[in-house]
Amino acid sequence: MATLRLGDVVPDFEAVTTEGPIKFHEWLGDSWGILFSHPKNFTPVCTTELGQASHLKPEFDKRGVKLIGLSVDTIENHPAWVGDIKDATGASLNFPLIADSDKKVSDLYDLIHPNASDTATVRSVFIIGPDKKLKLSLTYPASTGRNFDEILRVVDSLQLTAKHSVATPVNWKHGEDVIIVPSVTDEAAKEKFPEGWKTVKPYLRVVRQPGA
C-alpha cells in the first residue's frame, strides 16, 4: 500500500472491534472521523492515550467527530486492556477499538515502518472528512504520547476552513482571529466579511473568526 496522502479517499475495510464488527466507511457515515493506531495492547503510553481520548469524547461528539482506535492484538485481549485503561486513567473506553492481529488494516494504512520496527505499528492519527478523504495525518514514535488537545484544535481549524474562505494562523485556537485566504479578492472579501478586516500585508488580511 502506498502512503496515504492528503485528499486521498481512505481505504475501506471490515474489522472486529470492541463494539462488534464494522465496515469502516459505513460506520463513518456522514461524520468526521479520527482513526488512531496502537502497536499492541497493554502498552503504557497507549493506555494513557485511550484514557484521555475517552475523557475528551464529549468534545469530539460536539464537533460531530467519531473516534475509533486500532491495536495490533486479538479481540480476546481487548477486554482486559479496557479494564486496565479504566484502572489507570479513570476513563471507561467509550468508542470502538479495532482488533488488527492480522495487520490487515495496518497494511492498508501503511502503519508498519520497518526502519522503526519490523513488527510494531507506528502511532498514527488520521483525521477523515465526511467525504471519506484524508484531511490530516500525524505520526508519532512509540516513545512520545499524542497531544489530544492539539488534535481537537486541528479539528476546529479543519471544520472552520472547510466552511469559510479562511485559514488559521500559528497557534490559533477556536474564537481567535483568522486569515482571509489569498484567493479571495478584496472585492469578494467585502461581501464575505462585511465587518471588515485588518491588512497586515497585502497577502495577510486578519479577520474575526466567522461565527465566533
What residues are annotated to the active site?
A: 46
- Given a contact cutoff of 8 angstroms between Cβ atoms, the answer to whether 113 and 20 are in contact is no
CA 134 to chain centroid: 9
Closest CA to 205 of 180, 184, 173: 180
**H helix count then E strand count, the chain:** 6, 11
